Amino acid sequence: MTTPSAPSAAVTLLTLGGTIFMTQDASGGHAAPDDDAAARLAGTLVDGVALTPHQIANVSSSDVRPRHLRAVLERARRAVDGGVDGVVLTHGTDTLEESAFLLHRFWDREAPLVVTGAMRPASAPGADGPANLRDAVAAAASPTTRGLGVLVVFDGQVHLADQVTKTSSRALSAFASEPSGPVGMVDGADVRLLHRGPGRAALRSGTLPESLPRVPTVMAGLDDDLDLLEHVPAGAIAGLVIAGVGMGHVSPAAMPRLRDLISAGVPVVVATRIASGGTSTHHYAYPGSEVDLLDAGAVMAGFLPPAKARLLLQVLLTEGASAEEIRASFAAHAS
């Protein structure tokens, strides 16, 4: 009789649900959360890794809240402090990049926290959940990923939390990284780094707040002067993110509204709605350009897309950051 070999690593599996733990109805549609799917999938993982699962929630990613991520952060910290090599978190793909980014602000352990999910429900032919989960466990257990913070593993690729973005609402290869590409790849139990990426931005202290201040995102576009800002009562919002055109631009007619908000003490961060390239600080100086916005007191988001810029601003506002501290924090992501 063969004696089972001792596990080579220990990983804690935290679950928030998402498509990876959903099943479809008899028609092959209408996927919904399924706790039984979570139990089945958790038993299909990498040989040689001792896996300890713990369910935080089983919800769609559109229903993930800061309190869920606070629970993830605290549970993950306890697991690593208790001796595991890494932590895997399952999450729906719609807001996966946002949760990874937010957790990355607070993840202060050398062991990796790896986020993954699936584009096909567990009951679908060719479900990608088992492979993604296997790869995420391999990345969490690998010594090569230590010190990289929060990672996203999807379709055999390893992405940094600050650079990953969902690029397709349907494809299995749904995630990419801007501007440096994936930081690594998973080949079975082997995790190969392609580059180390930029240095980490400053960590936030303490734990993740259970709620975040109100910071809406408004998209600029053709024939749009951000008129709706005229109807925002004073004190109704804590900050504002603009998804600008081009390198971070708005129409000239929108500038008086933004200047009024900034003068009233509302921080305004300008990102770009464009998928790559980020915002600028010096290319254009016409009314409504990035130079005009900076002169008005706005902050440019650099390579951060609007969704991540919003989360960073919310965290900074929770901490009571000054205007200069907000500007310095976004400068770490500048292009």
For 151-180, the pLDDT digits (tens) are 999 999 999 999 999 999 989 999 999 888
The helix/strand count (H/E) of the chain reads as 8, 16
Tell me, yes or no, if 19 is annotated catalytic: yes
Domains and CATH numbers, the chain: 9-193 (3.40.50.1170), 217-331 (3.40.50.40)
Two structure tokens written together for 196: 């180390």
pTM exceeds 0.85, yes or no: yes
Catalytic-role residue among 2, 12, 15, 19: 19
Report d(CA 125, CA 111) in Å as an integer: 34
Residue 271 has which token pair? 């990102």
Q: What is the mean pLDDT of residues 226-247?
A: 91
Residues 123 and 37: beta-carbon distance below 8 Å: yes
Instruction: Taking residues 206-234, report their average pLDDT.
Output: 91
Cα–Cα distance measured from residue 183 to residue 163, given in angstroms and rounded to the nearest whole number: 10
**What is the average pLDDT across 42-59?**
79
Most confident segment among 110-124, 183-197, 219-233, 316-330: 316-330
Q: How far apart are CA 239 and CA 29, in angstroms?
A: 39
The reported pLDDT for the residue numbered 121 is: 75
Q: pLDDT at position 205, please?
A: 79
The residue among 124 and 227 whose pLDDT is bigger is 227
DSSP string, 75-89: HHHHHHHTT-SEEEE
Whether the Cβ atoms of residue 128 and residue 171 lie closer than 8 Å to each other: no
Instruction: Write the CB contacts of 209 (distance below 8 Å, at least 6 apart in sequence).
Output: 66, 70, 315, 318
Segment 70-86, tens digit of pLDDT:
999 999 999 999 999 99
Residues 125-142 have pLDDT tens digits of 777 778 899 999 999 999
